[in-house]
Structure 1
Amino acid sequence: MKNRSLVSLLSLAAVCAACVIPCVASASATLTPGVLAVGSDMTLPPHTYLDHGKPAGFDPEFVTKVASYINAAPKFVDTRFANLILGLTGDRYDIVASALYVTPERTKVVDFVPYFMTGGSLMVSSSSTLKPKTVADLCGKKVGSIKGAAWIKFINNVSDKACVAAGKPAVQVHEYDTSAETAQAVLSGALDAQYEDVSISGMIVERSGGRLQISSVGPLDPVVCGLAMKKGNTELKAEIELAIAQMKKKGEYQSLLKKYHLAEPTDEAIAKATGVTQ
């Protein structure tokens, strides 16, 4: 009886051991197998927004194509910009795709796959006499920004060097939940200007019916944007990098960038964005 029990236990152990290997090998790189959950602020056209309730813009198009290469169905989770990284680290979604700037500070919290370059613009009311070309022209003025944007640090640095150091009042940064709310504050006179991504500002100006205009020239503080994923998820990162490589080989990557007037990030720009010297 004892021997039979021992044989039974050994057989059960062998079965369990055999089960462990395939379970580990088939573990998904995403939170839900076959699904790529994407955190995105759907208030940032033309990068990402809702068109009749459906995700639209560059990021949804790009991620949908990436997802097709890793055999996953994209599932977009609309999240305000300031909470995107918090939701990622809290396992609400697998990646963030929302024109998220790559910075040395952010690379300490999440991993990035850089996928395009952009920059900033200054917008003002068309009726305003203030037409700032750079942030240095805004000493003592109120500038609006979407909450949690990486360029707030850039604005404050310029303010310290060009304004405060010269004995002028600092640039006053006011943060809003969405870019649309910020633009409304400019139109109402609550703000003197708005700092926004070049593509997004172009869309906002177009939709303002001539009430807003871009006063700056060229992209301010050119930056790299990246798809963000939880730190240490090397499997998902490798899958996404391979998918993008396949997109480039077929010309799909280049076509999407051209469609949205974006540029591919250079190795030098990526090194600067991540804080890794070449």
Structure 2
Amino acid sequence: MRLLLLARHLAVAASFLVGAAIAAHAADDVGTLTPGKIVAGVDANNKPYSYIDNGKMTGFDVELVRAIAAKLGLTADFRAQDFAGLLPSVANQQVDLAAGSISITKERLKMVDFSEGYLTGLLSVGTLPDSTIGADVTSVKDKRIGVVQGTIEDTYSQSYLPGAQIVRFPNINAGFLALRNKYIDGYFIDKTLLEGLQGKYPDLKLADKLDISASNLPAGFPMRKGNVKLEAAVNKAIGELVADGTWLKLYQQFNPGYPKPDPMPPYAMK
């Protein structure tokens, strides 16, 4: 009888060991830098995509990464840095991927690979209420327009805003302070980010008369070049999260009042 009980205990223990080995192997196969964990670089001042609320990192991209990690059986860890440093940190294998509405462009694809596109949106020039910048793009000529260094607004500023004098900042807060202090005439950023500033600082009465579509440059998750395992795993997880409704739930949570996107992800660069 004792021998039978001992055999049963050994069998149970062996099954746990096998299960742990399989889980560890699965995590290794995903292609993350650390088995069992996905490390994402984020800009902590990038609301509604990535920001700190009550001491916790959150936002649409952050919660989407958490959901992707859960699908892959991983934990998610976030490392805050300026937007301009996100792609280099991915390329130098300091993080597994970066998150924060980072558009897929031909220039960026020279440095990193991307997941499939999971988000599209609008860009906007934010101004103080007495600005002469209006809905006509010619109104920015000779105006000092701020951008966050390394963003698509920076990369495509001359084609989007011909004749403007571009002033670069390391993060969104630095540019906002420059606009508030009238060091720049306008601030060219993601429209959702501008709406966040309008909600946070209603007394400033920030205007957004000039909108520019960026639907041809969807956002994806940058990953180290050649990391096909992680790219395939992330793409599969995004597809599952769209199919089960998680993506839409997060989108509506962090973009209240916005209509349901049509079509839904994935999106491709055009």
TM-score, scaled relative to structure 1: 0.79
Provide the residue aligned with 1:34 in structure 2: 36
Is the contact between residue 239 and residue 266 of structure 2 (CA under 8 Å) also seen in structure 1? Answer: no
Is the contact between residue 120 and residue 214 of structure 2 (CA under 8 Å) also seen in structure 1? Answer: no
My pick for the range that moved more, 85-94 or 45-54, is 45-54
My pick for the range that moved more, 26-35 or 192-201, is 26-35
Tell me the SS of whatever aligns to 2:202.
coil
Bigger Rg over Cα: 1
Tell me the SS of whatever aligns to 2:209.
coil
Measured in 1, the distance between the counterparts of 2:212 and 2:152 equals: 15
Q: CA RMSD in A?
A: 2.4
What is the CA deviation profile of residues 41-81 of structure 1, one whole-angstrom value per residue up to 9, with x for unaligned ones? 11111110111321011111111011000011100010111
Q: For residue 269 of structure 1, report the CA deviation from its aligned partner.
A: 6.0
What is the CA deviation profile of residues 213-251 of structure 1, one whole-angstrom value per residue up to 9, with x for unaligned ones? 233255444331011111111111111111112212211
Provide the residue aligned with 2:73 in structure 1: 71
Q: For residue 86 of structure 1, report the CA deviation from its aligned partner.
A: 0.5
**Out of 201, 205, 215, which is 2:198 matched to?**
205
Q: For residue 210 of structure 1, report the CA deviation from its aligned partner.
A: 2.8
Q: For residue 158 of structure 1, report the CA deviation from its aligned partner.
A: 3.9
Q: Does 1:82 find its partner at 2:73?
A: no
**Out of 124, 129, 134, which is 2:127 matched to?**
124
Q: In the TM superposition, what are the counterparts of 1:228-243 in structure 2 within 5 Å?
A: 228-243=222-237
Provide the residue aligned with 2:11 in structure 1: none
Is the contact between residue 134 and residue 220 of structure 1 (CA under 8 Å) also seen in structure 2? Answer: no
Q: What letter is aligned with 1:228?
A: P
Is the contact between residue 120 and residue 196 of structure 1 (CA under 8 Å) also seen in structure 2? Answer: yes
Provide the residue aligned with 2:107 in structure 1: 105
Measured in 2, the distance between the counterparts of 1:154 and 1:50 equals: 29
Q: Which runs of 5+ in 1 are unaligned?
A: 1-21, 161-169, 273-278
Tell me the SS of whatever aligns to 1:74.
strand
Measured in 2, the distance between the counterparts of 1:25 and 1:59 equals: 24
C-alpha change, 1:146 and 1:216, in structure 2 (3 Å) is: same
Q: Does 1:257 find its partner at 2:247?
A: no
Is the contact between residue 131 and residue 215 of structure 1 (CA under 8 Å) also seen in structure 2? Answer: no
Tell me the SS of whatever aligns to 1:104.
coil
Q: In the TM superposition, what are the counterparts of 1:42-81 in structure 2 within 5 Å?
A: 42-81=44-83
Q: Which runs of 5+ in 2 are unaligned?
A: 1-21
Q: For residue 148 of structure 1, report the CA deviation from its aligned partner.
A: 1.3
C-alpha change, 1:245 and 1:142, in structure 2 (3 Å) is: same
Identity of aligned residues (%): 23
Q: For residue 257 of structure 1, report the CA deviation from its aligned partner.
A: 2.1
